Amino acid sequence: MDIDARSFAAFRELVYGRSGIVLAEGKQALVGSRIGKRMRQLGLTRFPEYLDWVKGRGGEEEVTLMLDAISTNVTSFFRESVHFEFLRARLKEMFRAGKNHLRIWCAAASTGEEPYTLAITVRECDPDPACDIKILATDISTRVLKAAVEGRYPKNRMQGLPMDLAQRYFDRVGSREEPLWSARPQLRTLLRFARLNLATPPFPMRGPMDFIFCRNVMIYFDNPVRQRLIAEFHRLLAPGAFLIVGHSESLTGLTNGFQTVLPSVYRRIA
């Protein structure tokens, strides 16, 4: 559906106010198409009608569904693999030094490939069974979080995960015609999933976190939203702990309290 300029401007303002996501001018056709699908489900034909619905009768639930429709979720197992190599090296050092308490936050969990990759990386470092390990996985989209909690993936979504790791941490389920790979309890027990809007700090977590993965998210925010988010990451990370962002992202130009370790990897300054 083609969206008119006035309606697009109204949705841009609403989406930014509720999620911090900046919808660029070039996204007009994409937004019209995605919101149009939701409108058809409601039997609405005009964008101003849907805007009134979101602000009125639809309430908070409809705002969530609208953001679900607009959100872009691109992910895969071991995406930007250098970050997991860095994590593995640091974890091995920590576990050799006797670390018995580990907290990791995956701030943009999407459909789950990233948090399950984090859990695999932790397990592959062979921590002491008594080590208290928790991985928090959050996302603004309830739709993708549901898929992440289910933790079941078709073969084409398992690309990037070596076969030996797939066989070690996933079970083959489903029919012969439509097989799925389902995450085993040894991964699931490390993970907790929750909905969270990164544009609205402070967050309910106390910390301290040892690692925060917030990759390929801040590219959708403007600098004021990024600045608030970075300040919250600084609050939640332990001194010397690590923030990992996407390869296309940087903290350059932001007042942050972080030291660059590698491109897109930062250490919290005490």
Active site residues: 34, 139
Amino acid letter for position 73: N
Nearest Cα neighbor of 209 from 240, 250, 255, 246 is: 240
Give the long-range contacts of residues 174-178, CB within 8 A, separation 24 or more. 178/154
Residue 116 CA from chain centroid, whole number: 12
Give the span between the Cα atoms of 231 and 201, in whole angstroms. 9
Give the span between the Cα atoms of 221 and 143, in whole angstroms. 21
Place of tokens 């012969």: 176
Q: How many CB atoms lie within 10 A of CB 89?
A: 11
Give the span between the Cα atoms of 256 and 199, in whole angstroms. 16
Torsion of CA 230, 231, 232, 234, to 10 degrees: 90
Sheet holding 191-195, edge to edge: 191-195, 132-139, 101-106, 209-214, 237-245, 265-268, 258-262
Place of tokens 């008594």: 130
